[in-house]
Amino acid sequence: MSIKHIKSLSLPGRTLLKMTPEVRKKYQIFLDNHLKYIHDFCSTGYENRSDIHNNLLFFVEDKIVAFRYFVYQGSTCELFNTYVDSCHRKQSIATSLIEHSVSLSNDHGVSNFVVRMASENEERTGLFNKYKNLVKDRLFGNQFTIYYAGKMVVFE
């Protein structure tokens, strides 16, 4: 098992081919939605800034079984998406990706994190609780603002 960091908005085709079919499908849906978000809410050129876009890929053997996408700019990091193949869940892969993204962001001077989860479901509630526990247990000095199902919660 290993994690690879790629600084880019989108992944090269050869990398996509290493993803499990489930992860590839979820990544492509995420990327399409994120490109719409960029078009609607971000300044022109944002998508071309490779210095701020980050993908973490979790490998088991030669297959990518999970991904994490996040953007950091200044002292703020937006943690956009984490996805783990359903066959590889409950193995702390999401936790590893989240912790790795926070660590990389901290190395670049980030101390404020923003997470947005539009709707409530069992998976997102679990993710919300995971963030809460990580802040409480390990990530002192960081502020997490989580927008979840229409509510804003700040953890420090």
pLDDT digits (tens, 9 = 90+) for 97-134: 988 998 898 888 888 888 887 777 787 888 888 877 77
pLDDT score recorded for residue 123: 79
pLDDT score of 90 more than 80: yes
Question: Hey, what domains does the chain have and what are their CATH numbers?
Answer: 2-110 (3.40.630.30), 111-156 (no CATH)
Taking the CA atoms of residue 44, residue 46, residue 50 and residue 55 in that order, the dihedral angle to the nearest 10 degrees is -140
Share of the chain above pLDDT 90, in %: 40
Angle at 130 between CA 99 and CA 53, to 5 degrees: 40
Q: Given pLDDT bands bounded at 50, 70 and 90, which one contains residue 10?
A: confident
Q: How far is it, in rounded angstroms, from Cα 137 to Cα 139?
A: 7
pLDDT digits (tens, 9 = 90+) for 33-57: 888 888 887 777 777 777 789 999 9
State the maximum Cα–Cα separation within the chain, in Å, rounded to a whole number.
40
